Chain A
């Protein structure tokens, strides 16, 4: 297998699924009608409801949903089960479930006067469903923040070449917001300047460091990485704080095995498979929270939006160049290599139970929550319905925008998989960055050196994750205020709500095991998707349409994700909570995450019960005649 085949398979499968399945559902079940007035045209208010060209909307929707989810999930899954199961789920998941979830949620909102899914759930199922949504959303945000802050702090602590790019990104973001909104400078000019500055800073990070094959990089020789390295060394002078374990070896701080064995590093003890939590990990975690605090509390135009915008371009450039590299890599053999650069070195399948030292990682259900957004995402459905649905000019635009956006996001997942698979060793972000580095090296006809390409891969990874995290905290403080603001008015204060969210996140980062955090996030995300499909199923039943295309995937996702929460809770119990020799902080974190698993499980059960009641109520009512397709 090679990168070119992945591109070919991806294009063919997406074309077939879109042309022969998605369009058929759009035409025969939903019966999208270009002559029916959409909420954007009926309630045009110049702000929320506004008819917009489908090409503009597709660009906006794709940019909005394309984030770190399809990248992180895929590289973790490929590490645990091999590349083949990951490719299969990416292809099957997006073809039969992913696009259907995003598209049908948007269409349901369009047909219900642009109401959000929570309002529709309140009306169609029960008021309790809407309240449970708060719980889901809050824990979804908490888990994604914990997983992302943990992985980024690990990278920043281990790679002295990355922080400089992040610092420049923050400054460039501040400048871009001021220049566009206050100085009214051209967006094109500001974009070119700030993106070039940030890319330049990312390239300067590793400049001068000594890269020797087979040996650890000497960062002290670089002008910028040397300074960061000195800061790290002085912070770490007090030694480790405590140790945690990751039975799945998916934590980015665990080094790749060489000849089947992992060696000791500054943060890893191979003999006991323990990760040392050093003071600089704590330092970078706090630095990330400070960055996120600014994004969560400053006016959105001043920081979060322009930082996100610059980050998008950095990622788009790196991913775009990598995609070109993936196309030509099978035909290029690098010096000192025996196989083409695009040949897959990663094992195709690692067995049903996955690569784990202790605990269990069965392919079903764990693969389906580990790969989250690349195949299906509840977040897209839940909040695409309030943004995109209110801007659709014609009903027939929903498929290319909603469905097409999800298919496009799937290609990000495939590219991440390619990057990891051609490197073959390593875990998490390290494998992704090494793969991206090789693809950039190939795409640039070997003019960009491998270490610089890898540094850009790391930088792009951190940028895309960081831009997401600051917005996660922004949404989290609003959710907390809405959910608990009536109990204590302090939660309605944005600074208090932000700090509460960050303190809980920090506790998770310091006490939790990264891979379990990620898998719990995936479970909450997929449960949101199942909930969205459940709503669509009930809605289709209420209007006399065949709900099978949403109902069957809904049952699969519901059962799978609920099983996954049980497996994760068991893993936490068996591998950390009851294991002798674990640090107290790890045990406390494991129990907290077990409690979250139980909470998600019970919440999902309650929603399913309420939906069953609603379904039976609708069955008892006479089936309304399906509306004509047009006229």
Chain B
């Protein structure tokens, strides 16, 4: 489902499925699998946060691993640094927690 996970970069028509059938398919996905996919992504993001803290935690003031290993891993984690920083440095409200997602309440 690339159209769901990839950020939109092109013009509107280029990133939208066309036709009623595609729209219905997406609607059905939104009502069924999307919640599971989101939860899986949130879980992955939480694990990634932990991994990034261990590897390059010194970037946010947590020197928890010798720089040698951090340097060895740096090429692999560099693409994730920008999104990781956004995730961990964002100010959060109590309502941001997963429990507050609507889920039919």
Contact = CB atoms under 8 A, between A and B. Distances in A.
Interface SS of chain B: helix, strand, loop or mixed? helix
Nearest to B24: A55
Interface in A179-210: 180-181, 187, 191
A118 interface: yes
Contact of A308 (B27, B93, B103): B103
B65 interface: no
Contacts of A393: 8, 15
Interface stretch (A57-65, A339-347, A441-449): A57-65
Interface string A468-489: 1001101101110010000000
Interface string A42-57: 0111111111110111
B104 A59 contact: no
Contacts of A60: 30-31, 34-35
A300 B39 contact: yes
A37 to B, nearest CB: 10
B101 A118 contact: no
Interface string B59-100: 000000000000000000000000100110011011111111
A386 B96 contact: yes
Given A116-B95, A382-B95, A53 B104 contact: no
A311 B33 CA distance: 14
Interface in A344-393: 379-380, 382-384, 386-387, 393
Nearest to B98: A300
Contacts of B101: 64, 383, 387
Nearest to B28: A59
A69 B8 CA distance: 35
Interface residues of A, number: 66
Contact of B36 (A34, A62, A180, A467): A180
Nearest to B9: A41
B16 to A, nearest CB: 7
A66 interface: yes
Contacts of A479: 94
Interface in B4-32: 4-5, 7-8, 12, 15-17, 22-24, 26-32
A119 interface: yes
A46 B45 contact: yes
Nearest to A66: B104
Contact of A52 (B4, B39, B94, B98): B4
Interface string A304-341: 11001101100010000000000000000000000000
A547 B1 CA distance: 39
Given A59-B28, A116-B95, A53 B102 contact: no
A163 B56 CA distance: 53
A47 B42 contact: yes
Nearest to B5: A50
Given A59-B28, A478-B97, A45 B103 contact: no
B105 A53 contact: no
Contact of B100 (A46, A180, A383): A383
Given A45-B86, A471-B105, A478-B100, A53 B35 contact: no
B32 A384 contact: no
B50 interface: no
A313 B46 CA distance: 29
Nearest to A464: B104
B12 A301 contact: no
Given A45-B45, A47-B42, A53-B17, A59 B31 contact: yes
Nearest to B100: A383
A75 interface: no
A64 B103 contact: yes
Contact of B4 (A44, A47, A56, A67): A56
A451 B3 CA distance: 46
A118 B93 contact: yes
A18 interface: no
B8 to A, nearest CB: 5
A312 B31 contact: yes
B93 A56 contact: no
Contacts of A44: 7, 83, 86
Contact of A312 (B28, B97, B104): B104
A407 to B, nearest CB: 15
Most buried by B among A53, A118, A311: A53
A134 B90 CA distance: 22
B100 A386 contact: yes
B34 A59 contact: yes
Nearest to A469: B105
Contacts of B8: 41, 51, 393-394
A218 to B, nearest CB: 36
Contacts of B90: 43, 45
Contact of A305 (B27, B36, B96): B36
Given A48-B96, A53-B4, A468 B104 contact: yes
Contacts of B39: 300-301, 305
B26 A56 contact: yes
A443 B39 CA distance: 37
Contacts of A467: 104
A296 to B, nearest CB: 9
Nearest to B46: A47
Contact of B96 (A43, A66, A116): A116
Contacts of A474: 99
A471 B90 CA distance: 26
Contact of B99 (A181, A382, A478): A478
Nearest to B26: A55
B96 to A, nearest CB: 6
B20 to A, nearest CB: 10
Contacts of A387: 101-102
Contact of A118 (B31, B33, B41, B94): B94
Given A55-B27, A308-B104, A387-B101, A187 B86 contact: no
Contact of B35 (A116, A118, A305): A305
A383 B98 CA distance: 11
A48 B83 CA distance: 11
Contact of B87 (A45, A57, A471): A45
Given A308-B103, A386-B95, 6 more contacts: A64-B101, A116-B93, A119-B93, A187-B32, A464-B104, A468-B105
22 contacts: A43-B86, A45-B83, A50-B7, A52-B34, A53-B17, A56-B26, A56-B27, A56-B30, A57-B30, A58-B27, A59-B32, A60-B30, A64-B101, A67-B105, A115-B93, A191-B32, A308-B103, A308-B104, A309-B35, A312-B31, A386-B95, A478-B99
Interface of B: 3-5, 7-8, 12, 15-17, 22-24, 26-36, 39-46, 48, 83, 86-87, 90-91, 93-105
